[in-house]
Structure 1
Amino acid sequence: MDLRSYVREVQDFPKQGIGYKDITPLLLSPEAMKQAVQFFLNQLPHQNIDKVVGIESRGFFFATLLAEKLNAGFIPVRKPGKLPHRTHREDYELEYGTDTLEIHEDAIQKGEKVLLHDDVLATGGTAAATCRLIEKCGGEIVQCNFLVELAGLNGKDKLRGYAVNSLITYN
């Protein structure tokens, strides 16, 4: 099964000139989702994972599935003001300004092995900020997983030093 066929490109979304990679067709297929989860499990250097971190919001879909398969906890990383308990915050640069992500302070215990998952790796800013949050909590990042990587935007450059695994890569 070619999972690339389950990602549709939507031109000029969310703004003119952008070719948005829409993963919702993949989410409609139980077989495609199972294959994607199995791919990620097969790519792990080991399966001793304590927590799986998913980045708001499309990273939550597969992060929760992976957490269940790995018998690990799931941790949401969200935009400011969305988490109800005390949080660590991390600001990061966007092409057009800055943004902020938060994680609960008590989500990860020192030394826990963490798998990070998000739907798309583009410029790498969101994933790099999430890595900093995980490490601020004391977690050790085993791998960063992405359904789609937009290689031409060089997001891996911001994740140097981390194992990065992408299911589908577009150049």
Structure 2
Amino acid sequence: MSTRSIVIPGPEACCCPQARRSLCSAGRPLETRQQGEEPRVLEKMIALLKANDMCVLATCRDHKPHCSLMAYVTAEDGLTVYLATRQDTTKFRNLSENPRVSLLVDTRLEWATDRSRIQSLTVEGLYVPVENPAEEARMRQRLRDRHPHIAGLLDHPLSALIPVRVLSFLLLDGPEKASHVRVLSETLA
């Protein structure tokens, strides 16, 4: 598998100790890129995230992983993903104890007849509760507009908005080509 990994703004911002040894968090070698290539790759990743609206959310508590199919919307810059759930769910309890999450977005429906062209985007993220009521109301409305089927969930008294700040992206472009971009250090999220 051909792997390209980059760190934005630099390896010193990466929260994984392997980055100091020129490895990404998955243990793959970091490859250097031509100057100016990083923004194009990041733009491609954000475009894929914004073009879709369903993902798999992976949470973990007590070393027990949990996956959920979720509807989402993104912030305008594509670096925060907003989902909704009820506060009495396993995923919300997991998030309350461990804010680190992973999201998976893919194009398998678009390329069902040519699987070699499927792209998958893994998003490493951090659950950061919304502190601004106006922002929460705006994102809830965007979720309602994009996903009318979850209006009942959004109106439920135990409804919780789940903002996920993007820490890194891993894009698989077909079965052989991978690109990794660290967007934000966890300490800065």
Give the TM-score of the pair, scaled to structure 2.
0.26
Instruction: Give the greater-gyration-radius structure (CA).
Output: 2
Give the TM-score of the pair, scaled to structure 1.
0.28
